[in-house]
Amino acid sequence: MIAPITGATIGSVGIEMHPANGIIYACTNDAIPVLYAIDPITGAATSIGTGMGHVGECNNLAAPWLPVACLDAL
């Protein structure tokens, strides 16, 4: 269980926990996509970036068996 997300209004297209670092990543479906890192303990959302080329590639965050370009670029 994670804490409620704070610090961002996220209408996400995907959300996934990175298996190596335990951080939860969420990508918005806004006109300019935003990639957030979400602390699973506190729920604090931190913007990693907006309008970056790889953020637009975050449409498969909920499919952990596929490569996720926006996370691989971190």
Residue 46 falls in which region: left (phi positive, over 0), alpha (psi -120 to 50) or beta: beta
Q: How confident is the model at residue 20 (pLDDT cuts 50, 70, 90)?
A: confident
Enumerate residues 6+ apart whose C-beta is below 8 A from 18.
24, 25, 71
- For the entire predicted model, the pTM comes to 0.64
Note the pLDDT of residue 65. 44
Note the pLDDT of residue 26. 82
